[in-house]
Amino acid sequence: MSIRVLVADDQEIVRTGLAMILDAQPDIDVIGEAADGWRAVELARRLRPDVCLFDIRMPGIDGIQATRLLAGPTVDDPLAVVVITTFDLDEYVYAALRAGARGFLLKDAGTVLLSQAVRAAANGDALIAPSITARLLGAFAEAGPTSAPSQPIEALTDREEQILVAVARGRTNSEIAGEFHISLSTVKSHIASLMAKLGARNRVEIAMWAYETRRVKS
């Protein structure tokens, strides 16, 4: 089945370009477009796409606010959101991830990375542009979280600690399986356990917790 995507960007030429790139993929189908944040939220709630691709700077409400409304901590049935922007600013990235985004890309990321980010979000994974991942998470870890990192409801096992670090370093499930010589299903089970113990809803939140608790150094 095709991955159903909603694209929101206030610049028509950019929005059309993104839609054309994604529609050209055999497994991706753009089902809607929006030019402002409120329209994006309305369409997302009505169409329930598999992935929302949102620009940060939009009229009405911006992409971060729209993400929070659709994927934030208080949302019962969150949608998968990938944020895309021209601006490589750490505060934008961090705010988007805190709002519940499953991915963050720059508009010059290219066709391959854009498609990968959409597929990752649809599969429950997360993809952040490699150029900013470690720098971003490491910088905010050094600055210290706004509040003390939450403690896991149950102690992590040695293997879960290993998987935690691998996720924080941006490894895919396949790469983790190969590194530790375990099956993909076992990797998924460990990640599900980590999410449950940490109260994390996706891999990005697992990664942020790893950096905030100094499991990973930038």
Instruction: For residue 52, list its beta bridge partners.
Output: 6, 81
Q: Which of 48, 34, 44 is nearest to 67 (CA)?
A: 44
* Tokens matching residue 126: 């997360």
| pTM for this entry | 0.70
Q: What is the pLDDT of residue 90?
A: 61
DSSP 181: T
Does residue 93 contact residue 132 with C-beta atoms inside 8 Å?
A: yes
Amino acid at 29: D
Phi, psi of 171 (to 5 degrees): -70, 145
Rounded CA gap, 165 and 174, in Å?
Answer: 15
* Tokens matching residue 179: 């590194």
* Tokens matching residue 106: 């720059």
Q: What is the pLDDT of residue 178?
A: 94
Q: What is the pLDDT of residue 169?
A: 79
Task: List the chain pLDDT tens, one digit each, 218 residues.
Answer: 899 999 999 999 999 999 999 999 999 999 999 999 999 999 999 999 999 999 998 999 999 999 999 998 889 899 999 998 876 666 777 788 788 888 888 888 788 889 988 998 898 777 666 555 556 665 555 555 555 566 888 899 999 999 999 888 777 788 899 999 999 999 999 999 999 999 887 777 788 788 778 887 65
Q: What is the pLDDT of residue 129?
A: 62
Strands of the sheet with 81-85, listed across from one edge: 28-34, 3-8, 51-55, 81-85, 103-106, 127-128
Q: What is the pLDDT of residue 80?
A: 93
Rounded CA gap, 66 and 80, in Å?
Answer: 12
- Tell me the CB-side half-sphere exposure of residue 85, using CA atoms within 13 A: 22
* Tokens matching residue 10: 């206030």
